[in-house]
Amino acid sequence: MKVLALLILATMTACGPSSRNPKQTLSSFLHDTTSGDIDAAYSRLSLDFRTRCSRACFIKLLEEQPGQSRLLLDELRAAEPTTVYLADAKLTSDLTLRLSKEVSATKKEAETPYLFFQNPLDFYPQNTPQQALRSFVLAYSRQRFDVLLRFVPKSLESKLTVDALKQRFTSEPKISAQVERLRQHSEEPLIVEDTIARLPLGEDQEAVLLLEEGRWRVQRLE
């Protein structure tokens, strides 16, 4: 339940008297979606998320997961009262460092330190599809072709060098447009099935990632 809750909380903003803490925000959001109060639920999403996903887009996401809000709401009510706080430190270099802390009845917020969510020195993580997308876009924007080589599928890895990848990326004008489209959609939900993740990029277009040897790699940009 925690992972699903965090994914929802990451898109939320504190709003209204019922949102004094993350757990209350999540409970109110799940109650709104369960009862069909779409406007109230949508208002609890961050402005950034609403900019990328319209009300119609949000309704579609809910329709693709029928009954999920009710299941999460029941689980939230039955679970031990524990809240996970996340904090993102966004640097001028476009890197984002995420910290977290878990607060419960025995671990008060003021007494609980924030800890790094992942290795802060891993500037281009590929542990999740979302991380891989962000890292890929960041590496491309910095023209770090040595880093981009890590995102090549295993079937092509031995056939490419840093120089060959650089030539390929710089000689195809459409690559820049593909990466820009990927950046615009990089915060949207992915469809993950076992070792394959897909990110819809528009009508009949999608980016495809593969999980190989513990790292998510980019198989196709569109």
Residue 109, helix vs strand vs coil: helix
Helix axes 174-185, 129-141, angle to 10 degrees: 140
Q: What is the CATH number of the domain that holds 214?
A: 3.10.450
Rg (CA), the chain: 19
Q: Measure the CA–CA gap between 20 and 42, rounded to whole angstroms.
A: 18
Q: Examine the pLDDT at 9 and tell me if it is beyond 90.
A: no
Residues 104 and 143 in one domain: no
Range of the domain at 87: 83-116
User: Looking at the structure, do residues 104 and 142 belong to the same domain, yes or no?
Assistant: no
Residue 135: inside a domain: yes
**What are the helix (H) ranges across 13-94?**
22-35, 38-43, 47-52, 55-63, 68-78
Is it the case that residue 165 has pLDDT exceeding 80? yes
pLDDT band (50, 70, 90) for residue 4: very low
Asked whether the whole model's pTM tops 0.75, one would answer no
Confidence of residue 80 (pLDDT cuts 50, 70, 90): low
91 C-beta neighbours (distance < 10 Å), count: 8
Higher pLDDT, 133 or 99: 133
Q: What's the distance, CA 195 to chain centroid?
A: 17
- Confidence at 170, pLDDT banded by 50, 70, 90: confident
Collapsing DSSP to helix, strand or coil, 101 comes out as strand
| Domain co-membership, 154 together with 105 | no
> Does residue 65 sit within a domain?
yes
Question: Residue 195's pLDDT is what?
Answer: 93
**In a domain? residue 121:** no
Least confident range from 77-86, 151-160, 182-191, 194-203: namely: 77-86
